[in-house]
Amino acid sequence: MDVEIVFPSPQWELLHRHLFASAPDAGDRSPDEQLAFALAAPVRSATGVRLTVREILPARPQDLEHRSPVAIAPRADFVAAALTRCRQEGWSLIEAHSHPFSHGPGTTFSGIDWASDQAKMPRVAGLLPEHALHATMVLGRSSLDAHYYDGPRRASGRSTGSACSAPRRAPRN
């Protein structure tokens, strides 16, 4: 199954600005990781799923349990609020966080990220509407990586590889 994540320009700009807001233009100290949720409208077709981002929920300092240059953890109430919105409004959930230290073309999930996603994605996907997906993204300064969980509740089975296409900007309407 192909999954395409589409960010209209205003949502992409808000996400990028939030994830790299504290980033210095130069220097050796990396800023802390940042996190945001994107609520997306899922549209399934015979060839795959298109997730069109409708809203960005930036994590504020009070929404985080922990934040450092190499790790970030949201508070349970921030996650619960996003999941409630998804259930009530029929959205898919995309979790995006930054790797501010990544400057090249090879941004990818760390071992910590993979372990966390493997543990949480089945539980989170089970709390979403039946037609929705749970995806995660990691953004560096010039590249990104993304994957999704479609769950055992569908015939397509589990998929946690980098099967998601790179998010792209949709034209402004």
The predicted-structure confidence for 80-91, as pLDDT tens digits, reads as follows 999 999 999 999
* Residue 25 pLDDT grade (very low, low, confident, very high; cuts 50, 70, 90): low
Q: 135 and 57 in contact (C-beta within 8 Å)?
A: no
Q: 63 and 109 in contact (C-beta within 8 Å)?
A: no
Please count the other Cβ atoms lying within 10 Å of the Cβ belonging to residue 19: 27
Q: What is the pTM of this model?
A: 0.84
Task: Identify whether 1 is part of a domain.
Answer: no
* pLDDT score recorded for residue 22: 63
Q: 123 and 160 in contact (C-beta within 8 Å)?
A: no
Task: Identify whether 151 is part of a domain.
Answer: yes
Q: Tokens representing 143?
A: 């590249």
Report the CATH number that the domain containing residue 78 is assigned in CATH: 3.40.140
* Structural domain that includes position 59: 6-20+30-170
Is the confidence at residue 24, as pLDDT, over 90?
no
Is the confidence at residue 26, as pLDDT, over 60?
no
Task: Identify whether 64 is part of a domain.
Answer: yes
Task: Identify whether 116 is part of a domain.
Answer: yes
Number of domains in the chain: 1
Q: Provide the 8-state DSSP code for 133.
A: -
* pLDDT score recorded for residue 151: 67
Q: 165 and 3 in contact (C-beta within 8 Å)?
A: yes
Task: Identify whether 130 is part of a domain.
Answer: yes
Task: Identify whether 46 is part of a domain.
Answer: yes
Task: Identify whether 43 is part of a domain.
Answer: yes
* pLDDT score recorded for residue 62: 96
Task: Identify whether 25 is part of a domain.
Answer: no
DSSP class per residue in 30-99:
PPPP-EEEEEEEEEE-SSEEEEEEEEEEEPPGGGEEEE-SS-EEE-HHHHHHHHHHHHHHT-EEEEEEE-
At 90-128, the pLDDT tens digits run 999 999 999 998 888 889 999 999 989 988 998 998 899
Mean pLDDT of the region 135-153: 85
Is the confidence at residue 40, as pLDDT, over 70?
yes
User: Could you identify the residue written with the tokens 């298109």?
Assistant: 50
